[in-house]
Structure 1
Amino acid sequence: MALSRKDRFNMKTQLLEGFGTLEWDSNRVNVLLREFKLQPFTGQFDHPSLEEIIADVTDETLTELYALVMNIDIDAVADVVESATNDGGWKPNYARVFLSHSAKHKKFVGEVADELALVGVHGFVAHDTMAFSKPWQSQIEQALRSMQAFVAIIHPEFNSSPWCQQEVGWARGRRVPFYAVRYGADPAGFIGRDQWPSAAGQNPAQVAAIISSWVSALPELGTAVTEGLFESLRTAPSFIDAGTAAKRIVSLGSLTDDQWDRLDTTFWSNDQIYGGALPSKALQPFYRENQRQWPPAKP
């Protein structure tokens, strides 16, 4: 696997984050380092840091280390690296969720994706998200390579669709966070052994709420969802959409100083926010509870 400088930087950054978890104590880290004939990590200030130890490893060693620490197959490393570094056709700063569905229910799933966009999640819907000027299959494959999470919406036609089954297999092989919503049918195959929520009879907004609640609870996507929420508020085309995004930001409960500053600036960036009753109704008590100036000062 040929690595670019960007690939190496991202892989090494994620390696160091992986080593920082409770799963990797110093003894386990050193067992791994010795396996690759790298010098041990002591943690002492006058000895090499982990960054220095892995700084000059070969691409082959880096790929093997990454696969072991991230607990993925070495053949899947390329897809995972691409997911972390390539936005492809996804909306910038949104959490990237592939919505697998039967073609018969494209309109319904498209409406689910529209609802998800209001809360910072880009749901990829084949034939809706894709560009007409590019081969459709390659775009689906690109989305599967670069998605951060996968959701299967199980209509009765889902189980008999070879495309849906291939998408499920791709998601399972990449080991991205996986979720399924039953909509009139139970999933078949390996995913059928797990209990998944039923959304039969629910409208797109209700299905989107189920999915967004799951996505928001994923530790690896929490930051992406928050970023997507701010972007959704900034670009809201109506005061109704702005109100929905504002409510979700309020539901976060607390913001960092940088996020407060960003919210102040975002408030005045869109007339659907500062001129809309719904976003102000959501944000005003939130500001006052946190002893922030309302309305925020203009930039």
Structure 2
Amino acid sequence: MDNKDIQRKILELLFKLRLDNKMDLALSNFIIEKLSLTLTAYEYNIDYLIEKEFIEPKMYTDGFMTHTYYIISVKGIDFIDNNIKLNKKMLKVFISYNNVEKHIGAIIKEMLESFGIECFMAHDDIGVSEEWKQRIFKELNDADIFIPILSDNFRGSEWCSQEAGIACFRNILFIPLSLDKKNRIPYGFMSHRQGKLISKYNIPLEYLVNPIVDNFPKINILANLIDELFMVRGFREAERLMSNLEPYFNKLSIAEVDRVVDISTTNYQIYAAGRCKREYLPKFINVNNEKIDEEKLKKLSELIELK
């Protein structure tokens, strides 16, 4: 691991810690423990981050014992802003829908955000005090991808049609999804694009991810998903993220395969999760066998009891 890789890990985990400041202390401790475990061998650990004033130790008492946890400092936040945001392009998606189909938009948003893709839903992301028309114009202007959820309700909404028109004019990537066969062919300026049929119970991940991978080859959204896998805290979360990564096992680079192996072998929540142990990790090994270091392969196989 070179210095650039080490700095990247520090940046990634500080960014996670920044988000965590809005959450619970247990997760804050978890993140710092992961950071220490990952970087101890390379002399970058908690003491290093305290010395650089990126994090600050805090104390709390649970009634029996005093515990230490850590929060990110203002200097740490500045470090993130000056490095991650300037050096990492984040794709932006505008999800257009009639309010009746809001729940479907929310599912799509959750699916894409696990890949590090920023999504905008007007009803969720616009505060009451904002001038919402101007915010919609701004989000449409900033969007790299437009996802309309086509239905009779969509056609009946004057706002949805105008959003689609603006996005067409900008000539950004369209990923039309249709809730019924009648609306599978987009209308108006969208009519030359073929829509994919979905239901509220079945939104195939490849309908969303494949066009993005094909159209933005320089932005590695699979690496973003692996970053999310690094922070897994529960069995179901591990299974969900592995399920998202599974269709792309054969597209991972040697470095990405190595990272998935390292993450999986050091996190009980991954290698012991039912579907990861029985299904995802055996398939991952089968697909990437030749890319995995022999000792690491042996360790992972033993952990999941692969014969």
Measured on the aligned residues, the alpha-carbon RMSD in Å equals 3.6
Aligned to 2:168: 172
Name the one with the larger helix percent. 2
Partners in 2 of 1:190 and 1:107 — Cα distance?
A: 26
In the alignment, does 2:151 pair up with 1:151? Answer: no
Supply the distance in 2 between the matched residues of 1:102 and 1:238 (Cα, whole angstroms): 34
Aligned-pair CA distance for 1:153? 0.9
Secondary structure of the structure 1 residue equivalent to 2:163 = helix
1:286 aligns with 2:284: yes
Matched residue, 1:73: none
1:203 aligns with 2:200: yes
- Most deviating of 140-149 and 205-214: 205-214
Corresponding residue of 1:241 = 237
- Whole-Å Cα distance in 1 between the matches of residues 230 and 218 of structure 2? 19
Pick closer, same or farther for the CA change 1:164–1:246 going to 2, 3 Å: same
Deviations 1:104-156 (A, max 9, x none): 21122212322344455444322224466754444433332332211111121
1:182 to partner: Cα distance: 2.0
SS at match of 2:156: coil
Question: Do the aligned partners of 2:89 and 2:219 also contact (CA within 8 Å) in 1?
Answer: no
After TM superposition, give the deviation of residue 249 of structure 1 in Å: 3.1
Contact 1:153 1:182 in 2 (8 A): yes
Question: What is the match of residue 188 of structure 1?
Answer: 187
Percent identity over the alignment is 21
- Equivalent position SS for 2:176: strand
Q: 1:18 corresponds to which residue?
A: none
CA contact (8 A) 2:176 2:193 kept: no
- Going from structure 1 to structure 2, the CA distance change for 1:257 and 1:97 (only over 3 Å counts) comes to same
Residue identity in the other structure for 2:160: C
1:90-239 equivalent positions in 2, closer than 5 A: 95-118=91-114, 121-130=117-126, 134-184=130-180, 185-186=182-183, 187-199=186-198, 202-206=199-203, 208-216=205-213, 218-221=214-217, 223-236=219-232, 238-239=234-235
Residue of structure 1 in register with 2:9 after alignment:
none
Equivalent residues, number: 207
- C-alpha separation in 1, matches of 2:129 and 2:256: 38
The structure whose RCO (Cα within 8 Å, separation 6+) is larger is 1
AA aligned to 2:189 is F
SS for the counterpart of 1:150 is: strand
Deviations 1:212-269 (A, max 9, x none): 34333x2315734213321332344542332232244343204324323432443367
CA contact (8 A) 2:179 2:197 kept: yes
| CA distance in structure 1 between the aligned counterparts of 2:257 and 2:208, rounded to whole angstroms | 26
Q: Normalising by structure 1, what TM-score?
A: 0.56
Answer yes or no: is the 8 Å Cα contact 1:120–1:230 preserved in 2. no
- The structure that is strand-richer by fraction is 2
Change (3 A) 1:134 1:267: farther
Match of 2:43 in 1: none
Q: Which amino acid aligns with 2:281?
A: L
Give the 3 Å change call, closer, same or farther, for CA 232–158 of structure 1 in structure 2.
same
Structure 1 CA distance for aligned equivalents of residues 131 and 272 of structure 2:
42
Asked if the contact 2:90–2:118 (Cα under 8 Å) also holds between the matched residues in 1, the reply is yes
1:197 partner amino acid: K
1:234–1:266 contact (8 Å) kept in structure 2: yes
Distance in 1 (alpha carbons) for counterparts of 2:266 and 2:120: 27
Q: 1:220 to 1:112 in 2, by over 3 A?
A: closer
Partner of 1:31: none
* Structure 1 residue matching 2:194: 3-state secondary structure: coil
Counterparts of 1:103 and 1:161, CA distance in 2 = 9
3-state secondary structure, aligned to 1:206: coil
Distance 2:90 2:275 in 1: 23
Mapped to 2, the partners of 1:195 and 1:232 lie a distance apart of 31
